[in-house]
Copies of this chain bind each other. A is one copy, B any other.
Amino acid sequence: MDINVPEVKVPRIVIVGCGFGGLQLAKSLHKAEAQIVLIDKNNYHTFQPLLYQVATAGLEADSIAYPIRKIFKGQYNFHFRWGEVQKIIPAENRIVTSIGELKYDHLVIATGSTTNFFGNKDFEDKAIPMKSVVEALNLRSMVLQNFEKALLTTDTKDLEALMNFVVVGGGPTGVELAGALCELKRHVLPNDYPELDFRKMRIILMENGAELLASMAEGNRDKARKYLEELGCEVWTKTGLAKYNGTLAETNNGKQLLTLNLIWAAGVKGVLIDGLLPTCISNRGRFFVNDYCRIKGYDNIYALGDVAVMISDKYPNGHPQVAPVAIQQAEMLGSNFIKALKGWTLNKFDYFDKGTMATVGRNKAVVEVGKIRFGGFLGWFAWMFLHLILLVGYRNKIVVFINWVWSYFNYDRNIRLIIRPFNRK
């Protein structure tokens, strides 16, 4: 059965996914003479850069998740449908979803990325990912549950496994998460569990490459490492995870470690949808698109953001998988849709790199904007400021700000709640 969407005379643009890209595109089309149908498997947009704070009990989910319908209140050409897209039938201009089928005139795939375990079944089953609100809440529960369990054991091996934390992947997510765990160890958990000896809690950040934050400049990479080590994090570079059975982690350079807390932040892959030609999919699981975000081999199917790879002279491996790329591609695509309706010439995508930043703990961050690089407290302040500006919704900005101020002056994390008990798969 077809999804119940009003039949209109203007073209129907179907957008799959309401991450940074899908959200921006639907907004950019608010004046377009087109019907916009946005489909997402969640009824909210997730501000992913702050997921790690949900996972570490600093923010509640509602602070970084925003109801999609609320964003588009009053945009009359817009229709949201809550469902999962299962398949594209390009020959019929039709998609198959969990809530029915739907015809499109243009289809935009903005499904983003998900955790990449690179085919390792053990890692997928046993390691903890953190790419969605649900996963972040699970991680929060896991951390708290394991400390509750640590109280009950007298076995030293069990205690080691419960109190060792391993974060795999030294990109911004891994660095920020490891920093937040160090803060929990220093300021929060010892108050909650006075019966435990927190000198025994280890936080290890594991990175395959030679350095953390590979995409940043050298000075900043060193700084991030220094900040983390000052916080008590063990940084293991040139070290990959070789095996993990849920209890014992083994590295590719022969180290062994008991841990029930292994968090995987070592890579992402695009969230593909079935039905398109295999030739339009890269070996990293992304759709090849041209300078206009059109998928190779199709006239009216597009992809943008993390799920798209646009090869250019400047970016021979595609653009970095970060929010600004998705947003700028969405702006480009949105304005091109409007131009096409009017018969005007289309613009090619040209990425404007606004810079990159990562925060470490409660007072430090590294920031790069073009040639300008800074860190420390100033960097941290810039990081906070920017994330508050970018958060969707004024209420969320206020609530997050209060939580941050509160946590900062009280050395505290308030949301230490096990509402959704964690169960290992």
Chain A interface residues toward B at CB < 8 A: 3-4, 6, 42-44, 60-63, 65, 67, 69-70, 73-74, 76, 79, 81-82, 99-100, 133-134, 137, 144-145, 148, 151-154, 191-195, 393, 395-396, 398-399, 402-403, 406, 412, 414-420
Contact = CB atoms under 8 A, between A and B. Distances in A.
Contacts of A152: 3-4, 81, 99-100
A69 B151 contact: no
A418 B192 contact: no
A419 B82 contact: no
B100 A67 contact: no
A125 B359 CA distance: 48
A283 B95 CA distance: 58
A418 B62 contact: no
Contacts of A151: 4, 81
A420 B417 contact: no
Complex copy number for this chain? 2
A74 B194 CA distance: 9
B67 A417 contact: yes
30 contacts: A3-B152, A4-B153, A42-B418, A43-B148, A43-B418, A44-B418, A44-B419, A60-B60, A60-B61, A61-B417, A62-B415, A65-B417, A65-B419, A67-B192, A67-B416, A69-B191, A69-B193, A69-B416, A70-B192, A70-B412, A70-B416, A81-B151, A82-B145, A134-B419, A395-B402, A395-B403, A395-B414, A399-B402, A402-B402, A420-B420
Contacts of A44: 416-419
A157 to B, nearest CB: 15
Nearest to A3: B152
Q: Which 7 pairs, one residue from A and one from B, show the smallest C-beta to C-beta distance?
A: A60-B62, A67-B416, A69-B192, A82-B148, A62-B415, A43-B418, A60-B60
A402 B398 contact: yes
Contacts of A193: 69
Contacts of A406: 395, 398
A384 to B, nearest CB: 18
Contacts of A6: 195
Contacts of A74: 191
Contacts of A399: 399, 402-403
B417 A62 contact: yes
Contacts of A67: 192, 414, 416-417
A416 B100 CA distance: 24
A417 B43 contact: yes
A414 B402 contact: no
Contacts of A60: 60-63
Contacts of A133: 419
